[in-house]
Structure 1
Amino acid sequence: MDQQPFTYRKLFTSTFFLSAFTFGGGYVIVPLMRKKFVEQLQWIDEEEMMDMVAISQSAPGAMAVNTSIMTGYRLAGIKGVLVSVTGTVLPPLLILSLISYFYIAFRENAVIGAVMKGMQAGVAAVIVDVVINMGQNVVKEKDILSDLLMIAVFLITYLLEVNVAVMIAFAAIIGVVRFYYEKRKAA
């Protein structure tokens, strides 16, 4: 498939529809953004998308918005950021405004409660899919240190219940040390 030409309209509509029809936060929207921008539009390559997701996860704020910022900036600089963030933030703003207006009726409705419970299962499945896909991409690189680091961080975080932010900082330090070690080794 040929790469589709970039337009601000396409960036806005892509982020708007992804945000409007995705429930569950960043871990759900990111694989859909990957599918849209990497596979369908081919505006970004797979490795670059993984890098943007990693940075988005480690930055403060909502992961979906952070990834949208990274994507918009990569594609069109500051104007791209404004377009993609507007497209990402507008649907939840409108939906939450509407829900807050009818909050009492929604809170007491058994059908809405059941729908929300069902959506939790769907969100969990999408998160598992993201973990598997991102893990496979790390393993594909055939870098033993990255593989061991991924497994170690996962085990330490969930078995020892270490704060995720601490583990992200730990992995970042290892990455910086490794970068400078390889840079010095190459010189």
Structure 2
Amino acid sequence: MTHETRLAELIAPVVDAAGFELVRVRVTGGRTKTLQVMAERADRTMSAEDCARLSRALSPVLEEADPIDGRYNLEVSSPGIDRPLVREKDFEEWRGWPAKLELNRLVEGRKRFKGVLAGLDEGKIAFDIEGEDETALFPMEWIASAQLILTDDLLRETMKAEKQNPPA
């Protein structure tokens, strides 16, 4: 189990109790680390006020558990418009949207692919690669990183969601 997985297990109940969904936990930095917690509401929105509220909810739990050696900064954010895709449900929910994938291994001589998300197929990421006729299937553990590609349609979709679900 990775350090980030353990952190996610510690953080997830607090995120859920605050009314959000945990998207990703990442630790970056050298001497002073940054604990990045990415979350969103069920409607895929996350305001600055939401980030501040979640940060206040997480701080006492992190202080008590002291899960990171040395000093660190807590950074709570939304996934953003060109969001990372990290959970199986992300690949399903964003089916039909342009994305880019980077694999942790070579497949047909490449690691990076652009195309359109085609959901999940028997637990594998289905992906319509740009310029290819057949849908590729990648095991989740092969995905080093994945994110939506910023398009005008994605901007419109995000703005529509924010308009329909203003901050509480």
Please give the TM-score of this superposition, normalised by the length of structure 2.
Answer: 0.36
Please give the TM-score of this superposition, normalised by the length of structure 1.
Answer: 0.33
- Indicate the structure with greater helix content: 1
- Indicate the structure with greater strand content: 2
